[in-house]
Structure 1
Amino acid sequence: MMQEAFLHFLWQFGYFNRSQLTTTGGEAIQILHPGYPNADAGPDFSQARLRIGPIEWVGNVEIHIHSSDWHTHHHQEDDAYDQVILHVVWLHDQDVYRKDHSLIPTLLLANRIDHDLLTKYQYFTSNTEDIPCASQFGKVNAVYKIQALENALMHRLSQKADLVTTLLARNHYDWEETTYQLLARNLGFKLNNDPFLQLSQAVPLKLLHKHSDQLMPMEALLFGQAGLLDTPLEDTYYRQLQKEYSFLSHKYSLRPSKLDAHAWKFFRLRPANFPTLRIAYLAALLQKHKNLFSLFIHLASVKDFLELFHLQPSPYWQQHYTFGKTSPSVAHFGKESKENILINTVVPLLVCYSKVKGKQLYTDRAIELLEALPAENNRITRFWKHMDLPIDHALDGQGSIELYNHFCMQKKCLSCPVGISLLKPARTPVIH
């Protein structure tokens, strides 16, 4: 099945027979410049330069599988498409016109594509492997692999920064509140991300700061709003938290925003990752450091960050993973967990701040931190190492995770330097 992404690829790189190009109306076409891909709303390529008949045109190029898709997508109603100078299609089934009723020239590609190139493309899109190019990956020049990692990394950083931007807007551009929410979310380590974020929104940082002189009220607010103080339990500290929460929730009218205890997942988690212990560490961190955003944004090294998290929760949580069950040895917040927080909280925060303030140095600092961290050891990074893709540090690790999840699994081979290199035609298309 033909996809528009493939037609974009053909047009951008000129991988089609360009000998004696003509419009469907018979006018000669000369491609002086195909234009630049447009990732935003509007026509697919901008600033294209074409000679159609005797006239040289500068404008946009729109690409569709069927020319009738112009109307399917309602482009005839959008002023942004009045500057389209060429309509490139796989199949021509209808003439299309601008709003002033002038005919838009159309180029038909179906009869101009090398059969081997089309076969290779169809192999990638129909391949059931997680990595469509796995059998050919070893043959790819290392330069393309490095480019693929770099592109995937920047995409990942941008996506994570977008989450920060969304939170920032919701928090009326309060950086400290946003940092607190982002940190809380990432303390959930995927399985409990959402309830941790909801908890941070149910217990604002400013409220916690009002009680930062004592750890118990902070714990009471967090555990109470988490819905983890609702069941009867014969445990002295638990009952103290219940009493404190009852008073504070009434004082601040908090109960309507309280989470349900069932929102939290404990199953298949190591005890050190139980949300109860994570909440206790969050309370201890917020009591010890009042301005996390300022600390994170001026972070100079990984060592400095690890020292920020060198803390102990309240005495109760040094002997418990959950309420009411004593454990003789409770695992500390480990180095790997701290590095995970650095990767998923501090780095996106720096990149977002860099974008908002227009200061590249904060993105550079984020990249330096990733280069100073070891790569995550998970299924994806181990897979790429098996494929002989160099994963030397967290910078490579983050890129490899995004490459796998966003490009390979979604078969976006035409957006990947490795895929593009493998799809390059064996012989150069005829050019007029």
Structure 2
Amino acid sequence: MNEDILSFIWRFQYFAAEALYTDEGSQLSIIRTGHRNGNSGPDFSEARVVIGEFQWIGSIEIHVKSSDWYLHDHETDPAYETVILHVVWENDRPVVRRDGTLLPTLTLKGIVKKSVLERYTQLQDETETIPCAPMFAQVNEIQKYGMLDRTLLERLDKKASLVMELLARNNNDWEETAYQWLARNFGFKLNDAPFTRLTEIVTWKIIRKHRDKLSQIEALLFGCAGLIPIESNDFYIRQLRTEYQFLSAKYGLKTQQMNGHEWKNLRMRPAGFPTVRLAQFARLIHKNGSLFSEIISTSAFSSLQAMFHTEQSDYWQDHYLFEKKSKGKVPFLGKDSVNLLIINGAVPLLVGYAKHRQQPELLEKAIYWLSEIGAEKNRITREWEMLGMKVTTAADSQALIEWYNHYCTFRKCLECTVGATLIRSVSL
């Protein structure tokens, strides 16, 4: 037993609500169960109940045991003075208010509908990774796709929150934030940390002064990344080092230079090596100038794709490491990589800006972008497809990933539309 299921039972009154009495012997009528409180304080607010001859308006607190009131130190917290009814599974200790009066208690054990507890236990104990999988077909499409819409917005909101945190660290500088955020995504998970650190050293304020000269952008990025060889007869490397020595002295970057060993390329195809990704990121900056403005002002999805479809400089078209010439041509940033940069880079940035400016039309544009990208194919999306869900676009796959990771993995069936529907269906 836990407070989540007890709150669910209280909210929807899945118990014998007729002829109710408090444990103290007063007749109890529930007019309104109240509003669920997601913050600190009592579990439900603005509830309305009749106890004996008096009608009360206030808060409801839910506990497994009544003694949890004292375990959680509610007796010393003024916020709990508004509680008018204590709803528990087991009453093992009377609760006394600060003024010395007894807090009315309702014990649910023995009056809860057995079918509700059995269905909840069934979902919690299910061995399938998606706990409702054996019963998924019992829920109508409206409920399923309503949950899909909800989890898409939740996922976008989470990612946008990360952008907003970065914005706060950058003193509300959107250009700096976009530069760092996109660089992080060019790391494609394995190198997101070193990419982030690099752009904290070579800030946008520095890089924007040299965005018209690709050689200088590459010198700053490769140099501060600690990747330029110290000795080499290669003309490109010698030119890069000369540029870096001058620029690092100008901006005082030498002492902040990263160690080349921070970058990872093990078990990675050469096209994904950090050297290649850095060269592509340098070209993106050189090609577009203001990354943030380009993303915010772009409407057509094809224009957004064109923005990210970059060709690295000549050297990196036949090299994947310094002084390591490739056997064939090193691919440019491909369609799949571009789509991932849009999904994880451009879209959260746009949603963050939409929230910041309170412009819902930008949120709609972000969702439109996702709808123009084919669905991601992975273990999670395949599981949903096996249950009959249509996984067509990136909007679908992103929503289903959030649904799986946030609800299914943690067995939050009570908070899920499908799970709650399956529980309610046995309470009728």
CA shift digits 1:12-55 (9 cap, x unpaired) = 22212212222222222222121222222332222222222222
**Residue in 1 aligned with 2:281?**
282
Judged with a 3 Å threshold, the aligned counterparts in structure 2 of structure 1 residues 393 and 264 are, in CA distance, closer, same or farther, namely same
**Residue in 2 aligned with 1:237?**
236
Aligned with 2:362: secondary structure? helix
Aligned with 2:61: secondary structure? strand
TM-score relative to the length of structure 2: 0.93
CA shift digits 1:319-347 (9 cap, x unpaired) = 12222211231111111211111111222
- Are the equivalent residues in 2 in contact too, given 1:75–1:81 (CA < 8 A)? yes
**Residue in 1 aligned with 2:353?**
353
**Deviation (angstroms), 1:98:** 4.3
Aligned with 1:313: secondary structure? coil
Judged with a 3 Å threshold, the aligned counterparts in structure 2 of structure 1 residues 198 and 385 are, in CA distance, closer, same or farther, namely same
Aligned with 2:56: secondary structure? strand
Aligned with 1:61: secondary structure? strand
Deviation larger for 46-55 or 283-292: 46-55
Letter in 1 for 2:198: L
CA shift digits 1:271-306 (9 cap, x unpaired) = 222221111111111122222212212221211101
**Deviation (angstroms), 1:154:** 1.6
Does structure 1 residue 382 correspond to structure 2 residue 376?
A: no
**Deviation (angstroms), 1:234:** 5.4
**Deviation (angstroms), 1:218:** 1.3
- Are the equivalent residues in 2 in contact too, given 1:88–1:106 (CA < 8 A)? yes
Aligned with 1:113: secondary structure? coil
**Residue in 1 aligned with 2:258?**
259
**Residue in 2 aligned with 1:403?**
403
**Residue in 2 aligned with 1:118?**
117
Deviation larger for 159-168 or 220-229: 220-229
**Residue in 2 aligned with 1:342?**
342
Structure-to-structure mapping, 1:163-202, within 5 angstroms = 163-202=162-201
Distance (Å, rounded) in 2 between the aligned partners of 1:101 and 1:200: 61
Aligned with 1:177: secondary structure? helix
**Residue in 2 aligned with 1:10?**
9
Distance (Å, rounded) in 1 between the aligned partners of 2:39 and 2:255: 40
Distance (Å, rounded) in 1 between the aligned partners of 2:364 and 2:35: 27
- Are the equivalent residues in 2 in contact too, given 1:81–1:98 (CA < 8 A)? no
Judged with a 3 Å threshold, the aligned counterparts in structure 2 of structure 1 residues 320 and 102 are, in CA distance, closer, same or farther, namely farther
Judged with a 3 Å threshold, the aligned counterparts in structure 2 of structure 1 residues 264 and 88 are, in CA distance, closer, same or farther, namely farther
**Residue in 2 aligned with 1:93?**
92
**Deviation (angstroms), 1:64:** 1.8
Structure-to-structure mapping, 1:355-374, within 5 angstroms = 355-374=355-374
Judged with a 3 Å threshold, the aligned counterparts in structure 2 of structure 1 residues 350 and 100 are, in CA distance, closer, same or farther, namely farther
Aligned with 1:46: secondary structure? strand
Judged with a 3 Å threshold, the aligned counterparts in structure 2 of structure 1 residues 27 and 254 are, in CA distance, closer, same or farther, namely farther
**Residue in 1 aligned with 2:65?**
66
**Deviation (angstroms), 1:108:** 1.4
Distance (Å, rounded) in 1 between the aligned partners of 2:12 and 2:259: 54
**Residue in 2 aligned with 1:204?**
203
Distance (Å, rounded) in 2 between the aligned partners of 1:194 and 1:274: 14
**Residue in 2 aligned with 1:329?**
329
**Residue in 1 aligned with 2:81?**
82
CA shift digits 1:72-101 (9 cap, x unpaired) = 333333333222222222222233344444
Distance (Å, rounded) in 2 between the aligned partners of 1:102 and 1:157: 48
Aligned with 1:424: secondary structure? helix
CA shift digits 1:130-178 (9 cap, x unpaired) = 1111222223221221122122112111111110111011011111111
- Are the equivalent residues in 1 in contact too, given 2:115–2:427 (CA < 8 A)? no
**Deviation (angstroms), 1:360:** 1.5
TM-score relative to the length of structure 1: 0.92
CA RMSD across the alignment: 2.0
**Residue in 2 aligned with 1:30?**
29
- Are the equivalent residues in 2 in contact too, given 1:234–1:324 (CA < 8 A)? no
Aligned with 1:49: secondary structure? strand
Distance (Å, rounded) in 2 between the aligned partners of 1:417 and 1:154: 15
CA shift digits 1:191-222 (9 cap, x unpaired) = 22222222222221111112223112211221
Runs of at least 5 residues in structure 1 that lack an aligned partner in the other structure:
none
Task: Give the paired residue count.
Answer: 427
- Are the equivalent residues in 2 in contact too, given 1:15–1:425 (CA < 8 A)? no
Letter in 1 for 2:214: L
**Residue in 2 aligned with 1:150?**
149
CA shift digits 1:245-269 (9 cap, x unpaired) = 3333333222444333333221222
Letter in 2 for 1:171: N
Runs of at least 5 residues in structure 2 that lack an aligned partner in the other structure:
none
**Residue in 1 aligned with 2:424?**
424
**Deviation (angstroms), 1:317:** 1.2
**Deviation (angstroms), 1:230:** 5.9
Distance (Å, rounded) in 2 between the aligned partners of 1:55 and 1:21: 15
Distance (Å, rounded) in 2 between the aligned partners of 1:301 and 1:350: 14
**Residue in 2 aligned with 1:303?**
302
Distance (Å, rounded) in 2 between the aligned partners of 1:236 and 1:12: 72
Letter in 2 for 1:340: L
Distance (Å, rounded) in 2 between the aligned partners of 1:229 and 1:16: 70
- Are the equivalent residues in 1 in contact too, given 2:60–2:84 (CA < 8 A)? yes
